[in-house]
Each structure stands twice: as C-alpha cells, then as structure tokens.
Structure 1
Amino acid sequence: MNEMKLIMAEASPFARKVRVVLRETNQLKDVEEVSIATSPFQVNEQAKAANPTGRIPSLSRADGPALYDSRVITRYLDAKASAGLYPEAGLWDVLTVEATGDSMMDSAVSISYELRLRPEEKVSTEWTEAQWAKVMGGCDALQGQWMDLLNGPLTMAHISVACALGYLDLRHDARNWRQGHDALAAWFADFSKRSSFQDTHFDG
C-alpha cells in the first residue's frame, strides 16, 4: 500500500514537476498518483480536502498533514530521498531558476484559463499578451544568463524549466517560444529524452 497520495491533474505543469521528481528519485513506488478533474470554477473535493485553497498538486501523508504547493512538495521529496536536487553549492541560483520556471508556468496557465474558460467575447488580448511577455522574459533570462547552470548536473531548476517549456508546447505551441532561444531549445530537446519526462508527457 502506498504511504502517500499525489492529488494532481496530468495537464498541470506544477503537478508534472512533482511527478518528474518522483521518478528521478525512485519514489514512485511509495506514492499513488491520483488524477482528478478540477478547474477554478469547479474545485474538485479531493483537491479541497488536501489543500484548503483547492489548488493542485497536493501530497497526502500517513504521518502528517497534506503538503501543498509544488515547491514545498519537491523540497520534501528531495529531502526524503537525499537526492541533491537542491544542492547547498549554488542553492540560491537553483532556487532562482526554479522560480523562473514556475513564474513562466503561472503566466502560461493564466493564458490558458483566459482562452479556455472565459466566453470568447470577454477574452482580454491585452491580458494574454502581458502574460506572454512574462513568459518570454523568462525564456530570455534563461537563454542569456542561466545556460551554464542548465547544462550542469540535474537540479530542481532543470525540472522546473523543462516542465514550463513542456507546458508551452502543450498549450501555446503556435506562439513558438523557441524563436530567438536556440540554446534553450537545444537544451530542452536533450532534457526531453529523459525517461522521467517522457513518462509524464501529456498531450490531451
């Protein structure tokens, strides 16, 4: 019997971060992945039971209250496995790049909600373009400042950035984030070969 349950949606890049970590740290055997359907307008009861705000992912544990927010969960799983995804050497750089990836996810998911959940006549192009500018700001920073880190040993920074870029391909491929980001695109193509990333691919 699994000692933990991950409440998640397969399309969520934040949930994918946790799922990749489970595979990279060989902890999938200890966790049951529970895929749910939820939205900002209709919050799933399982999600609400684990996290009072109803957001996903969350991780229920037999020995304590559920953990939520992907960065909390990944820190917990990393510590549990002593995996070194948050190394002391260069920790602040790793956390900053992880936050960059997470911020890109936030903006990209916001665009998806605007386009998919609001009536067409109420969709704000100004809002979606402002959010996309934030995504591009993240890509520009990664390409211009952080490729040495991304080309180094695996950390949580790598996983966050990869999940962000994977979500851009899933929901916003037509915007072509790769244009002007050749080094980042090459890095992502290589990272995408990892079994943990392929195993968590979602194309629905």
Structure 2
Amino acid sequence: MTLLILGLILFLGAHSTRIFAEGWRTNFIAQRGEMTWKGLYTVVSIAGFVLLVWGYGQARLDPTVLWGSPRWTRHLAALLTLPAFVLLAAAYVPGNSIKAKLKHPMVLGVKVWALSHLIANNTLADLLLFGGFLLWAVLNFRAARARDRANGTVYAPGRAVPTVITVVAGLVAWAVFAFWAHGALIGVKPFGPMGGA
C-alpha cells in the first residue's frame, strides 16, 4: 500500500500545482524556463504513475475489502465509463460542442471514470486510487473554472461535424477498451464472466 500512496502523491501532486500552487508554478517557469518545468513535471508524473500502478497491483494480491460489491455494479460501472471516453475525446477533437459547453471535458471524464470504479470496486486500494482521482478531479475542475473566470476565457462555439467525430471516437475507444484492452492490460473483463471494473 505504501507504493500506491507514494505514487498517488507524486502523480496527483504533479498534476495539482495549478490547483494549490499556481503562483509558485508561474515563478518556477519564469525563473527556470518552460522546458525545465515540463521536464520535471514529466519525470515526476511518470515516476508517480509507475509507483501507483505497481502499488495497486501489489495491493490487489492481498485486498482489504471494505464493503460488499454486487456483480451488477460492475456492469453499471462499465457502462458509466462510456461517457468518460466521450469526454476524453472531447478534450482533443478541435471545435466540438461538448468542449464548448463543458469547458474542461477531460477533468469531467476523470470524475466519471473514478466514480464508476468506486461504485464497482470495494477494497482499500480501490478507495485510495479511485477516491484520490475523484477528489483531484473535483478540485481541478473548480480551479480551472475559476481561472477561466479570472482570465475572461471564452470558448468558441462547437460545430456539428467535430461533435459527431468526438462521440464516434469516444464510443469506439470505449468499445475497444471495454471488450478487449481492459482485460488484456488489467486482467479484468468488464463484461466477462468474472465481471469487474
């Protein structure tokens, strides 16, 4: 569990500077340059990600179960991740209406992903991992919207074609992950006989 916690601290910490230390981040970039910041950010993020994946894998070998988790919650979680994939696609497809409306769809996608996995999983490691990401996403979204208001950020209106591309890309990515990649990479098939999220 120690590796998981350390990984979460490093990974989410690196991704939280704009939430808790915007001024420090700005000063660091001004003094040392943007490339130095990006290099440090990347190294810390990768190290944190490796540790949290490793730590979560170890914790799954000897889980501490906190509550009962009916099988149907696993299928519900798998379905709830569908909009999370669409929101993720919306962060990258230019000119789509979803981003124009929601402003920060990737962070909202992380919220949905984390919440869906909390519904289906019931161990201490799950609570730390998915609860940590959910809390981070809530705080990040608030901070991002506050920056938008402070800077007077205006998002261009979305168009129909990029919006359709966004939805289709999200659906395809979700299907690939739900029916193949999740099982291949994580060892759990969301719609398989064993269930899981």
Same fold? TM cut 0.5: no
- Greater percentage in strand: 1
Q: Which structure would you say has the larger Rg?
A: 2
What TM-score results when the alignment is normalised by the length of structure 2?
A: 0.32
- Greater percentage in helix: 2
